[in-house]
């Protein structure tokens, strides 16, 4: 069997089903996982709503049972339930079947494990995932099962999660809320929690449907928010929340049908956390300087992180941070909850902020802001994009640019900054620009696109047009 090595990315496994990623690959991953992490005995398995997910889940579970593991199967369930079970029940690891916000043709795996001697379960990423890849790609015969040691236990953890999480949230007033679950694994789970807290809730696209008939399950992209904005107008809600397929991202919508940027959400949540305890805050490379400037005024230490929740978690632990997140709508709350990517809990924490305001829209309008470009995507093959970034960083260093290279390169300029980094989830390089004025933003965009092009990035005329530069 030939397996495409590029489906193994730095943070997960993803490919088009069944050409690149299928049940045969899934079985080999499952057996390799068990061989590499032999001491992990109790493994949870969850899946998103994609049509291929039950097929992949069966292969994963078969591999675990053949390796004599105890499998906790929670069926279709989002990351919040997956991680809650791992941490609350002290499980040894887990396999989540999902391609997150990728289109319906894709599927994939996110693997987590507690290594021997480790204090907590973490996702298998980077070198550890590539070592697992090498094991999967090897022409290996697996040892036979020792008998009836491996078994499957089916559990529905929803009620336990609802009770646990609801106790941690205090709303200043009941809210009228619209939820868009994007036909993903969150389903009606967020509605149940908010109703438990006394809110009036309307859910759209709550039915499980792996064809994603209404919109792509990526709330970070504005074009996927039209359904919830329409529902907001219809129900005259205080706020809305749109979730992705596996429930690790959530977008906030105000009562004027506007999406709150990830930067705004980061600042809203940081302000709330800092009321409890002052301490460091971790953020990704795309964070707005407006957020950093406000935190600097409060003498709050801030630290850049690689753009992935596992990297943010590691920085939170290292720095003893009180909050962390990414502007792509991932948020972590070390003071209040387990260190895991739980968009339902993040929505509840955002709701706490909303409940303290007479108007979410007015609150957002009062937040600091600098002109910012949309994130632009440059096509770059998976097997070449990291070398492109390395070559660019080498050029910057040789020419004495002021930049941060934690993840890609964020170039500090007189009137703003520019970022270039490889996508973790697709064959592309992502770029973003910010400036202190609109005029300076246009100058930075043109200057940096010209520089990117000069150093070998395939910048097209369309990208210039998309930014209004020609």
Helix (H, G, I), strand (E, B), or coil: what is residue 245?
coil
What is d(CA 407, CA 390) in angstroms, rounded to the nearest whole number? Answer: 10
Rounded to 10°, the helix 53-66/23-36 angle is 40
Count CB neighbours of 455 within 10 A: 17
Q: Residue 270, SS3?
A: helix
Q: What is the DSSP string of 151-211?
A: EEEE---HHHHHHHHHTT---SS--EEEEE-TTSTTTTHHHHHHHHTT-EEEEES-S--TT
Sign, CA dihedral 111-116-121-124, equals negative
Residue 367 CA to its chain's centroid (Å): 24
Mark 410-443 as b/e (b = at least 16 C-beta within 10 Å): bbebeebbbbbbbbbbbebbbbbbbbeeeebbbb
User: Which 3 state secondary structure label does DSSP give 1?
Assistant: coil
d(CA 370, CA 437): 7
- 390 C-beta neighbours (distance < 10 Å), count: 14
What φ, ψ does residue 284 adopt, rounded to 5°? -85, 180
- Residue 373 annotated to the active site: no
- Out of 100, 181, 182, 261, pick the active-site residue: 100
Question: Any residues with CB less than 8 A from the CB of 85 and at least 6 apart, and which?
Answer: 44, 72, 74, 91, 94, 155, 157
Handedness of CA 49, 50, 54, 60 (dihedral sign): negative
SS3 60: helix
Token pair, residue 352, equals 């706490």
Tokens of 118: 């480790």
CA distances (Å), origin 264, targets 59, 269, 348: 42, 9, 16
Q: How far, in Å, are 10, 108, 279, 283, 333 from residue 320 at the CA level?
A: 25, 32, 8, 14, 12
Nearest to 100 by CA among 1, 3, 221, 207: 221
DSSP run (H or E) holding 107: strand 106-113
CB atoms within 10 A of CB 127: 9
Strands 323-326, 281-284: pairing kind? parallel
Strand order in the sheet with 250-254: 200-204, 176-180, 239-243, 250-254, 259-260
Active centre residues (catalytic) = 100
């Amino acid at each position: 069997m030939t397996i495409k090595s590029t489906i193994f990315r730095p943070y997960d496994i993803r490919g088009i089903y069944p050409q690149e990623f299928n049940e045969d690959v899934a079985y080999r991953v499952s057996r390799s996982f068990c061989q590499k992490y032999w001491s992990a005995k109790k493994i949870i398995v969850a899946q998103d709503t994609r049509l291929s997910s039950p097929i992949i889940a069966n292969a994963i579970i078969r591999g675990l049972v053949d390796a004599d593991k105890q499998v906790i199967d929670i069926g279709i369930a989002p990351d919040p339930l997956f991680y809650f079970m791992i941490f609350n029940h002290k499980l040894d690891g887990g396999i989540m079947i999902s391609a997150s916000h990728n289109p319906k043709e894709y599927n994939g795996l996110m693997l987590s494990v507690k290594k021997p001697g480790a204090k907590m379960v973490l996702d298998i990423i980077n070198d550890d995932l590539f070592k697992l890849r090498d094991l999967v790609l090897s022409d290996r015969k697996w040892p036979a099962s020792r008998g009836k040691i491996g078994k499957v236990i089916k559990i529905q953890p929803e009620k336990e999660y609802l009770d646990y999480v609801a106790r941690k949230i205090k709303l200043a007033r009941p809210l009228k809320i619209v939820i868009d679950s994007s036909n993903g694994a969150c389903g009606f789970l967020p509605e149940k929690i908010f109703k438990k807290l006394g809110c009036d809730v309307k859910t759209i696209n709550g039915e499980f449907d792996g064809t994603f008939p209404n919109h792509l399950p990526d709330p970070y992209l504005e074009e996927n928010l039209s359904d919830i904005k329409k529902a907001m107008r219809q129900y005259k809600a205080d706020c809305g929340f749109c979730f992705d397929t596996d429930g690790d991202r959530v977008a906030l919508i105000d009562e004027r049908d506007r999406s709150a940027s990830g930067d705004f959400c980061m600042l809203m949540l940081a302000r709330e956390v800092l009321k409890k305890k002052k301490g460091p805050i971790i953020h990704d490379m795309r964070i707005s300087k407006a957020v950093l400037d406000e935190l600097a005024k409060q003498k709050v230490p801030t630290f850049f992180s690689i753009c992935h929740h596992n990297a943010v978690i590691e920085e939170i632990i290292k720095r003893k941070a009180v909050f962390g997140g990414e502007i792509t709508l991932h948020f972590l709350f070390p003071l209040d909850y387990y260190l895991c990517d739980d968009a339902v809990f993040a929505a509840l924490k955002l709701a706490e902020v909303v409940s303290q305001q007479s108007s979410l829209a007015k609150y957002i309008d009062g937040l600091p802001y600098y002109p910012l470009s949309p994130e632009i995507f440059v096509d770059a093959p998976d097997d070449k994009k990291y070398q492109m970034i390395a070559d660019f960083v080498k050029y910057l260093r040789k020419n004495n640019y002021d930049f941060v290279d934690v993840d890609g390169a964020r170039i500090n300029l007189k009137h703003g900054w520019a970022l270039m980094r490889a996508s973790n989830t697709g064959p592309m390089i992502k770029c973003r620009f910010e400036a202190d004025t609109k005029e300076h933003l246009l100058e930075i965009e043109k200057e940096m696109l010209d520089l990117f092009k000069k150093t070998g990035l395939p910048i097209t005329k369309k990208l210039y047009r998309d930014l209004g530069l020609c």
